[in-house]
Chain A
Amino acid sequence: MAEDHHAHDHGSELSEMQLRVRALETILTEKGYVDPAALDQIVENVETRIGPHIGARIVARAWADPEFKRRLLEDASDAVNALASFDPVAAHLIAVENTPQTHNVVVCTLCSCYPWSVLGLPPVWYKSFPYRSRTVIDPKGVLADFGLTLPAETQIRIWDSTAETRFLVVPMRPDGTDGWSEEQLAELVTRDSMVGTGLPKSPEAAKGEARR
């Protein structure tokens, strides 16, 4: 089956798409509808300005600062914009907190809605048909595909992003991180842990990576 994940292996689609996309860009530029410099800037934005490093800093702040966490869970857009450290986030960001009782998982079954402003562009798996179809009916099976098994007593809460609200999961702070700075904590926060398909790195795992 030709699925997103394998599309870049398909040489025929690649050359066909290169030609067709270049043609459309040429037409739209020649007709004065788009500015190539603005297009370059858009690409630069998504490649360098936005990304999971933003979400990681927000989560780390929430772990380190209970008052910020309270405000984040109450109104994530306001709380993040008040930091003034990033481009303003999308208008309606909602932060949902993992606890020992509840694990949150975010999906968009209908298309690919994802909190770009704090996580960047979604990975291919998030937009893939297996993730979009199965997460709502078999979330434990999907989490197993990521190598994640939760305690049997943990409730799973799925958020289907069917409107212009966007969801950021605030994972649980790993044990053994007392007294860590926000910068250190942010190193533990993975993209998948902010979508709900992973957990933050443990301090040991992070240390091992640093040694390699």
Chain B
Amino acid sequence: MIRAGQCFSVGLASLGINREYSMYSAADDDYLDFLIRVVPDGVVSPWLAKCKVGDHVEIGGPYGDFCLLEEQVKSKEYVFIATGTGIAPFHSFVKSFPTLRYHIYHGVRHEDERYDIEHYAPDRYSAAVSRPRLGTSRSERVTNLLEQANLKNDSLYYLCGNQKMITDTIALLLAKGIPGGAIFTETFF
């Protein structure tokens, strides 16, 4: 059984190399969606970017426990904090649990990395753009948003992204009095 937010190993049969990616689709979708950034000197992502319909892609999994507890979904409020494609498991959560009470704080480099923002209610999604191109937003990081946010002690905090963001955010949350037991992390590598 697939649970929202789990990850899969994805690779090309011709390559013999795989990488893990968090799912972007809902748990009960009849397909798997992934949100993958092409790493220019990477091995798997450039190949995946060149894939054509009919190419054979190998999928292994699902793996991992970066998931919501179903019994808490109705009673709890959630804060999702991501950098870049780290928003993937949160998209999976939101799509799987339509009544979820959540707010997403999303750190991106450029405005066009605010993937599928129309999938989230406008009052539930905040982006921090570190290198704005459009001139409509100022440069800031996701931790700047969190510093200003009204964060509740009884919410659950899910973090997904690069190691530095996770380390910095944990320190910030703890300083704001969020109990460590309410923080869950998935580090990208």
Same complex for A and B? Answer no
> Which residues from chain A sit less than 8 Å from chain B, CB to CB?
none
> Which residues from chain B sit less than 8 Å from chain A, CB to CB?
none
